[in-house]
Structures are given as structure tokens and as C-alpha cells.
Amino acid sequence: MPKRVLIADDEKNMRWVLGESLAAEGYEVFQAADGKEALAMVDEHHPDLMVLDHKMPSPDGMEVLRRIRAKGETFPVIMLTAHGNVETAVAAMKAGATEYLTKPFDLEELKLSVEKAIRISELSAEVERLRDELERDWDIDGFIAADLRMVEILGTVEKVATTNATVMIYGESGTGKELIARAIHRLSPRAAKPFVEVHAGALPETLLESELFGYEKGAFTGAVAAKPGRFEMANGGTLFLDEVGDISLGVQVKLLRVLQERRFERLGGTRSIDVDVRVVAATNRDLQQLIADGSFREDLFYRLNVVPITLPPLRQRSSDVPRLVAHFLDKYNAGTKTIGNDAMEALVHYPWPGNIRELENTIERIVILSSNEEVGLEDLPEEVRTGSAPSASKTHGFELPEDGIDLEEVEMHFIEQALERSGGNAAKAAKLVGMAAKTFEARSQRLGLL
């Protein structure tokens, strides 16, 4: 998609010259003849860069700049003036201008300034995104798991994270495939390097190819500057390929080559680029069936499926629901609401076709809409209230109490059963319920179990 440039100048000839020049470079250009029109176009077109005349009517360029920065707009602004002096330049830069050019200026200089400003803006956004990724806590202790199969999966995650093995994560939508991928990265020797994700199912073939491998300037219409792909961005770290079952056969061939040779070329380029990237892939589709249908390469499957991890749907790990409910209540409500017995029982027995994502959305909605301090059955969505409940009061992995359900009682039962199964070993019991050892000991002591 071409970058959008807004030219705001009251001189018609200047707007035409700049517009034609930048359009020839592949930019999508919009023009404004005064400050009022410029502000309206910012709201309408959301430009990636603005070329702004300093002396302009209603309001002038400096006021336009102050207003767009006051609104939180961060795109680069190149200020133009025929009356340049040091004081004006300093004032413009303090107001948020990216660069300051004095008329008359060389068109090639302006084009270089535009290209540089957009590139720096893109890199700054990427740096912020990567910094956020590194600062987030994706330690395995953050997972909520009492179901024994899920606990075993987390154990596998801890083991595989220390290797460079390619991992394939299977599971329905909403089961936490991305969280597992992030945990693998967070626990790996690559944790200080980038974690880069690509949602393959959301991108058409041509765009996915350019996102994965990048492109050189002029590789296609709108490629006004070279851009690195996600493989380059993830160099030294982890690349998460989500919805890998939706990748076209053409891109599969190129992906297979990267996995085999650890090198590729950008679109429109001839230079081979070497990368050191750990790949974690995920899908909610049956890849074996796709292979049989001829829509997924068998050789790529074996490259990706080195360590398969299958996440169970929430309906198969209902023993985790009470703790997940407590977690989401804390997240959205700071713990001021409680869940009544009937409501909790309905939440545990509901099959959750949208899995953990649906449960989180449901709890958030309850927190917003319910005025009751104790959430009752009437506060739940209709589909949860009327969901078909199993006849037995057992959940997978651990038993629930027979005489109603509340959060503290459920927690006590899980901890008691975990201690019993582990022969009283607190460290082993903590792993069974998916808690950090210190957290397990503190909660056990609070409940009088240790």
C-alpha cells in the first residue's frame, strides 16, 4: 500500500509541482490550500507524512502543526518557508516538525527528506513494538492450568524452549496458541531478541510474500523504498507463523527454502540474506487432510512439525474454568465482584466454543453490565445460562465439590488433591496445578493446608 503524503501550501503552483514529483515516486498525494483544509484532510486521510507551508492562511502552518500534535498525531511533518531564520526553525522543531526546508529548495532534496522521514517513522514504530514485546512477562508461571494434560503441555514447552527446534502448535481458535509461542520465546536463549508474528490467514498471497521476505525499492508499484521482511526483523529471535495452514502453495515453496537453507532474497532483489531465526508455527486446521487435498506441501509439514504441541479446547479442561474466571475478574474488576455458586457452575459446564477468548470476553461483559456485587445466573449471557450441563459434577483432572461451587472452595479442593497426588511434596503439587512454587505455598498456608 503506497504511503500517503499531505501537501499543505497556499501556492497552487507549489502544490502542483510537489504533488507531481511525489506521485511519480509512488506516493498517494493529497493537497490542501489552507490550514483549515489541511486539518480536515488529516482527519479524513490519516497521512503518513505532511509537507506543510509555514506561512499559510486560516490558520498558519505553525498553528496547524501545534494542533495536530496536540491531537496525538505522530506522523512526520516537513516544514517549508520562504522566510527562514534560526528562530523560526527552532520554534518549528519544538512544535514537533521533523525537518525544516527553506524555499527555494531542490526537489531531489525534498524527496530524500520525505523518504528518510517515513523510514525513520517506520523504524521508530517497530522499535516501540519490539520494546513492548521484551518488557511483557511471558514466563510459564503466568499460565493458568489445573488440568493435568495442560500441565504436561506446559512441561513440554519448558523443555523445547531451551532448544532451537521448530514447533508446530495445533488448537482451536482461542485456545492460547500465541501465548504458548510467546512462552517458548520468553523461556529460550533468544528471549532478548525480537519476537515477530505474522498472521498468514489475514494476508493475500502477494502481501504475505512481501511481509515475510521484504522488498527492494521499485520491486512493485508503491515500493518507494526498500523494506525488510519479518524474517529479517526476527533475526536472532523467533518468528511466529500463525494460521500456517492458510499459506498458498507458492509461498510455501519459498518458506520451505528458508527453513532448509536459512537464506532468501527480498522481492525484486538479487542479494541472498542469511538469517538465524527460530520458527514457531500454529494452525487450527488439519494439515494431514490439507496434504491429502493437495493444498499443503508434505515436505514443508515435516519441516514445521518437528515438535508438535496440541492445545485442548476449554471444554476438555473445565477444571481450569474457575481459576480463569478469577483471573479475568481480577483483570477487569480489581477483585470487587464475586461469582455465585449457580453462576460458577454454569460457567464450568458451558462448552465454550470460542475457548478462553470467549470466556474472557464474557467475564469482561459481565463486569461492565452487571450491577450486582455477586454475579448470579441472571447476569450471565443467555447461551451460558441455558447451556447443556453434564450430569456428573466431575471435571477433567480434578473433582469439584459436590455441594456447590465458590472460588476459595474450588482452590482448596484442587490444592488438597494436588498434595495428595504428589505425596505431600509441595513443589510437585505446585506443578500439577500450574502455580509457581512460592505462590502455591502461600495459598496453601492461607487455606491451612501446609
Do 297 and 372 belong together in one domain? no
Do 42 and 15 belong together in one domain? yes
Do 304 and 225 belong together in one domain? yes
The predicted pLDDT at position 27 comes to 92
pLDDT in tens, 222-262: 788 888 999 999 999 999 999 999 999 999 999 999 999 99
pLDDT in tens, 366-412: 988 888 888 899 999 888 988 753 333 334 344 544 444 444 555 66
Identify whether 161 is part of a domain.
yes
Do 163 and 299 belong together in one domain? yes
Lowest mean pLDDT among 118-132, 256-270, 272-286, 325-339: 118-132
Do 198 and 294 belong together in one domain? yes
Query: Residue 239 burial (CB < 10 Å; 0-12/13-18/19+)?
Result: buried
Instruction: Please answer whether residues 161 and 205 qualify as being in contact, where contact means their C-beta atoms are separated by less than 8 angstroms.
Output: no
What is the model's pTM? 0.57
Do 206 and 255 belong together in one domain? yes
Task: Pick the last residue of a domain from 312, 331, 357.
Answer: 312
CA distances from 276 to 238, 264, 272, 304, 359 (A): 9, 12, 13, 16, 37
Do 99 and 237 belong together in one domain? no
Identify whether 136 is part of a domain.
no
Confidence of residue 350 (pLDDT cuts 50, 70, 90): very high
Do 250 and 330 belong together in one domain? no
Instruction: Please answer whether residues 245 and 296 qualify as being in contact, where contact means their C-beta atoms are separated by less than 8 angstroms.
Output: yes
Give residue 62's domain range: 4-127
CB-based contacts of 436-442 (< 8 A; 24+ apart in sequence): 436/141, 439/141, 440/415
Instruction: Please answer whether residues 285 and 292 qualify as being in contact, where contact means their C-beta atoms are separated by less than 8 angstroms.
Output: no
The mean predicted confidence, pLDDT, of the chain is 84
pLDDT in tens, 69-102: 988 888 999 998 876 667 777 888 888 898 888 8
Q: What is the CATH number of the domain that holds 422?
A: 1.10.8.60
Do 206 and 265 belong together in one domain? yes
Identify whether 132 is part of a domain.
no
End-to-end CA distance of the chain: 61
Do 210 and 286 belong together in one domain? yes
What is the total count of domains within the chain? 3
Q: Is the pLDDT of residue 139 over 70?
A: no
